[in-house]
Copies of this chain bind each other. A is one copy, B any other.
Amino acid sequence: MQSPRVDFDRLRGFIALAFAAVGMRERDAEAIGRLMAEADLQGSDGHGAIRLAPYLRRIRAGGVNLHPEIRVVRERSAMALLHGDNGMGHIVMKRAAELAIAKARDAGVGWVGAQWSNHAGPASLYARMALDHGMIGLYFAVGNANHLPPWGGLEMLLSTNPIAVAVPAGDEPPIVLDMATTVAAYGKVKAKAAKGEPMPEGWMIDREGKPLTDPKRAGEGFLLPIGGYKGYGLALVVGLLAGTLNGAAMGSGVIDFNADVATPTNTGQAIMAIDPAAFGEMDEFRHGVDTLVRELRASERMPGVDRIWMPGEQSHQRRISYAREGIPLAPAVWTALDGVAADLKIASLERLT
């Protein structure tokens, strides 16, 4: 069955309207609406409109500060630490990215960490912010629920702690890697559950180490790290850089934001901007990326492989086609948004003008 489609601006507007309806400042509601709709626009459907109802539930339970005073608490020429004041992660990390880019403009690189932030959606959205300034962006985050035990362990003390890297190209689309350090991100598990589809083997195991494929039973097992102990190590160091370094939650301090909607999460994230113009001529860098992309794409393929993709290339194509043809929204998501509209007494997505 084909999912019904929605126009980007309509989805963006609806989400902004919902946040404004619960009392958020208009500017913040607009910014979050845009970022959440952008998640769906690029196919990050585990992090877009599907999150609206849970976010609102959290706001109503007092788990998120609707009027945060986001502020710099530590600063040097190439770094800053932001206190998110328990605001929505989207506006905290948008601010962090802007600050990192400004610092990189002068210092060559800029690193901004955040404490007392919240879930901010797909990692790639923030790494991508550097692209508009001709810069490379890197993003690290502590995930908002622990689904990963240390290697050899059974207690879920680590999260999927994602990494995103965005690299500007010339004529080619930018290279945008956005990956959980687990084989699958938990958002993908939720998306499978919402669609009523089973998970492939290798995403999760149960406590006996057996494959777990029913996404509705996800609570009984845990995610597997990529490359075994290597993925465990990556999840841990990403957590140290994004969490511990910022005085944010790590390990047993991480709040499961699905199970507990009221306790502030003290989510930690970090963003880095690198200005290639500090390293050499920008045109040469862009040309070098293009050359590499074309070489990889044109290289010999395994039998049965139609195309060699760059990281982020499929999302890039979706951004273009969904902007033109509308964003497909799973019926369950559409129903959830209608529920939000009825609940908040705002125009439904379909009726929004």
Chain A residues with a Cβ under 8 A of chain B = 74-79, 81, 103, 106-111, 113, 136, 149-155, 157-158, 163, 165, 167, 175, 177, 179, 183, 209, 226-227, 229-234, 236-237, 240-241, 244-247, 250-252, 272, 274, 276, 278-280, 284-285, 288-289, 291-292, 295-296, 299-302, 305, 307-311
Contacts and interface: CB of A to CB of B under 8 A. Distances in A.
Nearest to A182: B227
Given A109-B272, A165-B241, A240-B289, 14 more contacts: A79-B107, A79-B109, A79-B274, A111-B274, A113-B279, A150-B308, A151-B308, A152-B302, A153-B300, A177-B234, A236-B310, A245-B285, A247-B288, A251-B292
A276 B307 CA distance: 44
Contacts of A233: 177, 179, 311
Number of copies: 2
Contacts of A276: 245
Nearest to A180: B230
Contacts of A103: 78
B234 A78 contact: no
B107 A237 contact: no
**Do most interface residues of chain A lie in helix, strand or loop, or is the interface mixed?**
mixed
Contacts of A209: 302
Contacts of A308: 150-153
A274 B110 CA distance: 11
B300 A155 contact: yes
A76 B78 CA distance: 10
Q: Which of A75, A158, A183, A230 has the most CB of B within 10 A?
A: A230
Contacts of A296: 150, 153, 157-158, 236, 251
Given A175-B237, A177-B237, A305 B251 contact: no
11 contacts: A76-B106, A77-B108, A109-B111, A152-B307, A165-B241, A177-B237, A236-B296, A237-B311, A246-B279, A250-B292, A251-B295
Given A111-B108, A111-B274, A136 B295 contact: no
A272 B309 CA distance: 29
A271 B150 CA distance: 27
A279 B81 contact: yes
B284 A247 contact: yes
B237 A227 contact: no
A270 to B, nearest CB: 9
A78 B240 contact: no
A301 B292 CA distance: 44
Contacts of A247: 279-280, 284, 288
B241 A231 contact: no
B183 A299 contact: no
Contacts of A309: 151-152, 229
Contact of A292 (B152, B167, B231, B244): B244
A29 B280 CA distance: 31
A235 to B, nearest CB: 10
A302 B153 contact: yes
B154 A302 contact: yes
A107 B183 CA distance: 36
B154 A301 contact: yes
Of A149, A165, A234, chain B has the most CB atoms within 10 Å of the CB of A234
A295 B305 CA distance: 45
